[in-house]
């Protein structure tokens, strides 16, 4: 299959090299793959590489640091779902207790 179409072969190989660089957290290899001009790569991948090159400093930070706000975004989303499902509680302490119960915290008295 890959010997039939040069564009398909080059696109596939570049995508696999990018994936390997990501898995091994090898930012210099990732950066060089993104910035190298490949004439036989598909136009869709060229467009994606252009966007990745634009955001390269932020991508470099994700290679360098292990921190992510993904967990916090998940908590915020769950709170929004509780808010949407409940369609309003009579008072804020009931809403707060519902959130604390969802995240396995102890229930707190209404007056606290």
| Tens of pLDDT, residues 71-84 | 889 889 998 998 88
**CA 10, CA 5: separation in Å to the nearest integer?**
9
Q: What mean pLDDT comes out for the span 37-44?
A: 90
Tell me: do 20 and 59 sit in the same domain. Answer: yes
**Do the domain assignments include residue 111?**
no
Given a cut of 60, whether residue 112 has pLDDT beyond it is no
Query: Domains in the chain: how many in total?
Result: 2
| 53 CB-near residues (< 8 Å, 6+ apart) | 34, 35
**Do the domain assignments include residue 112?**
no
> For the chain, first and last CA: distance in Å?
68
Tell me: do 81 and 50 sit in the same domain. Answer: no
Average pLDDT, the chain: 85
Q: 101 pLDDT band (50/70/90 cuts)?
A: confident
**Do the domain assignments include residue 53?**
yes
Tell me: do 45 and 98 sit in the same domain. Answer: no
Are residues 7 and 42 in contact, defined by beta-carbon separation less than 8 angstroms?
yes
Q: pLDDT exceeding 70 applies to what percent of the chain? A: 88
Tell me: do 23 and 4 sit in the same domain. Answer: yes
The reported pLDDT for the residue numbered 15 is: 94
Tokens representing 47 are 């467009």
Tell me: do 56 and 88 sit in the same domain. Answer: no
Transcribe 19-33 into DSSP letters: HHHHHTT-HHHHHHH
Boundaries of domain holding 10:
1-64
Tokens representing 71 are 């967990």
Given a cut of 70, whether residue 95 has pLDDT beyond it is yes
Tell me: do 60 and 73 sit in the same domain. Answer: no
Phi (first) and psi of residue 36, to 5 degrees: -75, 130
């Amino acid at each position: 299959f890959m010997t039939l179409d040069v564009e398909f072969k080059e696109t596939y190989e570049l995508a696999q090299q990018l994936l390997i660089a990501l898995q091994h957290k090898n930012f210099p290899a990732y950066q060089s793959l993104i910035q190298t001009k490949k004439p036989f790569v598909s136009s869709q991948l060229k467009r994606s590489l252009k966007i990745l090159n634009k955001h390269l400093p932020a991508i470099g930070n994700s290679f360098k640091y292990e921190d992510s706000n993904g967990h916090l975004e998940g908590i915020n989303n769950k709170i929004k779902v509780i808010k949407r499902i409940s369609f309003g509680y009579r008072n804020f302490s009931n809403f707060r207790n519902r959130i604390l119960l969802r995240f396995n915290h102890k229930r707190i008295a209404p007056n606290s």
